[in-house]
Amino acid sequence: MVFKRNVLRNGKGVKQMVDFSNCEIEPLRVYDGANGKKICVIYNGERYMLKFPALARNNPEMHYSNGCLNEHIASSIYRTLDIETQETILGLYNDKTVVACKDFCDSGERIVNFAMIKNACIDSSLSGYGTELSEVLQSIEEQQLYAVEKIRQHFWRMFAADAFLGNFDRHNGNWGIIVNELTRDTRIAPVYDNGSCLYPQLTDTQMEKILHCRAEIESRLYVFPNSALKINNKKINYYEFLTETKNMECIQGLQYVAEHLNMDKIENVIKNTPMSMMQEQFYLTMLKERKEHIISKAYQIQKERGNIVLAEEKSIGKRKRVVKEYVPRI
């Protein structure tokens, strides 16, 4: 039996959280990944991966990181962008906060992560896990599992969304293609493993200190976190790359995210998730800052360069092409 427990929400009221402690465990379903313990439980007749909070390796002040909370928030924000994303439920297991991530592989399916795909395409000194951008893009072109243009579109939309969320750990092992070897069908996996978004190793005290110092906020916009992807072995700075790139697929991904960002929906996600008042204030502030100073700024710069084509301009151009194509010659 699964219970729901009332949990203090933001110091202002209560919100129910699912207690997974009595869920049936599926021992034959196991998961890889480096951060934190993971088990498979059956909830409402479906498999969910329970992710436990990992040790905050870089922060001795914390017993655990906020990875479970941030995984749920980031995944929920991804869904507001109309990007297919793994379903998550923030809950409890033996009084620990966990995030339940719905198993998105149906019977006969398995996920082939991009490290495996890349490993089959090109030689690399770091095998499939090398994150040099040129090698990743080359592997997208060479792979034969799924339509190249669809993977390119997914990759750059995910990159732009990760830039908004400050994801520092989108490597080749946490995105990929779902394959069914019996039917030979393939599809892009929903976005998953979002626990490294939104500064997961900060305490409430540290959050408060950052919010009271403009320099601290700006360092977290323009200096770090950076992407796990690299150019010439240097991690990509989200702000610099999005404002300077000439890659049109990337610019189209930026345009998609910029035009789908809805801060009212995002605020609703934050305010309906159990967290402290300081966490709520911090996440809302940093998300508004990242939207304004990274996504919207890069969008405006690329628009001024003529790299952003608005929907109405596309429609006008299409109508002109149709007229030109079908007007008979006299």
pLDDT in tens, 51-74: 998 766 655 555 456 889 999 999
Domains in the chain: ranges and CATH: 3-102 (3.30.200.120), 109-312 (1.10.1070.20)
* pLDDT for position 313: 63
- Taking the C-alpha atoms of residue 323 and residue 54, their distance in angstroms, rounded to an integer, is 60
Predicted local confidence at residue 330, as pLDDT: 29
Residue 237: phi and psi, rounded to 5, are -85, 120
161, 78 in Cβ contact below 8 A? Answer: yes
Alpha carbons 298 and 305: distance in angstroms, whole number: 11
Cα–Cα distance for residue pair 89/304, rounded to 1 Å: 41
Which pLDDT score, from 0 to 100, does residue 323 have? 44
Q: Where residue 311 falls among pLDDT bands split at 50, 70, 90?
A: low
Q: What is the pLDDT of residues 143-189, one digit of tens each?
A: 999 999 999 999 999 999 999 999 999 999 999 999 998 999 999 99
**Residue 43 parent element (H or E):** strand 38-43
pLDDT value of position 326 = 39
* HSE-up of residue 254 (Cα within 13 Å, Cβ side): 28
Do 186 and 245 contact (CB within 8 A), yes or no?
no
Indicate the SS3 state at residue 319: helix
CA distance 231 to 161: 19
Contacts of 303 (CB under 8 A, 6+ apart): none
Reported for 223-227, long-range contacts at CB under 8 A and 24+ positions apart, including other chains, are: 224/168, 225/166, 225/167, 225/168, 225/199, 226/168, 227/159, 227/162, 227/163, 227/167, 227/168, 227/170
SS3 state at 113? strand
In this model, does residue 322 exceed pLDDT 60? Answer: no
pLDDT at 212: 98
Res 327: pLDDT: 43
Residue with tokens 């789908």: 260
Q: What is the mean pLDDT of the chain?
A: 88
Is 241's pLDDT higher than 80?
yes
Q: Could you give the CA distance from residue 4 to residue 17 in angstroms, rounded to a whole number? A: 5
Q: Across the chain, which distance is largest between two alpha carbons, in Å? A: 81
The span from the CA of 87 to the CA of 50, in Å, is 12
Ramachandran area for residue 52 (φ above 0: left; ψ -120 to 50: alpha; else beta): beta
Chain-centroid distance, C-alpha 166:
9
Which has more pLDDT, 10 or 183? 183
Token code pair at residue 28 = 């034959």
